Structure 1
Amino acid sequence: MSTGDGSISDFFKTLVDHEVTVELKNDIQIRGTLKSVDQYLNIKLDNISVVEDLKYPHLSSVKNVFIRGSVVRYVHLPGSAVDTALLEDATRREAANQAGKVAK
């Protein structure tokens, strides 16, 4: 996935400076301001809070995180900030790219 080709990472880049909630594969949910996303879907969040802070008190003092894309289960997006046409296009392109890789 390269920058500017209509990829999923390009879609996420349109949400920079919006609040998102990232759900990790270990069930931790982290809410924060999206600061960056790269082609591997690694995510940087600022001003974070953990959704179940009593369950994860060791994260209460953390304010900024870098999340490796491979540990992300879901990214919950603000509905008002989502360009659905761009999301649909990015999804189609990703599916076509994956189908092309499987066919080779």
Structure 2
Amino acid sequence: MLFYSMFKTLVGKEIAVELKNDVALTGTLHSIDQYLNIKLLDARVVDAARHPQLVAVSSVFVRGSVVRYVQLPAADVDAELLQDACRKASVKA
């Protein structure tokens, strides 16, 4: 739930998502659920020459299980809060 809570604070921000099939998308985070399924608005494919079928797509729903990486804007992530939460979670375990 820690990452879900962090992602909820980034709704409305620009993020990049790389999928396991090497497709990379950027867009505005519209919503995320507890399974880390992501909905992007104003989505753009990073390598349009390699994936021309995705050029016309404007909104995308990405299933959480196919996500390889999510790149977040560094200015919008509170690293200290995230580190403290991870420390507390490891002490409880």
1:83, CA displacement in angstroms?
Answer: 1.0
Could you tell me how far apart the structure 2 residues matched to 1:29 and 1:82 are? 21
The equivalent of 2:5 in structure 1 is: 10
1:66 alignment partner, SS class: strand
1:90, CA displacement in angstroms?
Answer: 4.5
Contact kept? 1:8, 1:90, Cα under 8 Å: no
The equivalent of 2:45 in structure 1 is: 50
What is the correspondence of 1:1-104 to structure 2 with a 5 Å cutoff? Answer: 1=1, 7-92=2-87, 93=89
1:85, CA displacement in angstroms?
Answer: 2.1
- Structure 2 residue ranges without an equivalent (≥5): none
Could you tell me how far apart the structure 2 residues matched to 1:13 and 1:69 are? 14
Contact kept? 1:30, 1:48, Cα under 8 Å: yes
Could you tell me how far apart the structure 2 residues matched to 1:29 and 1:48 are? 10
RMSD (CA atoms): 1.7
1:96, CA displacement in angstroms?
Answer: 6.8
Could you tell me how far apart the structure 2 residues matched to 1:30 and 1:87 are? 25
User: Normalising by the residue count of structure 1, what TM-score does the alignment of the two structures yield?
Assistant: 0.80
User: Residues 68, 91 of structure 1: CA spacing in aligned structure 2 closer, same or farther, 3 A cutoff?
Assistant: farther
1:27 alignment partner, SS class: coil
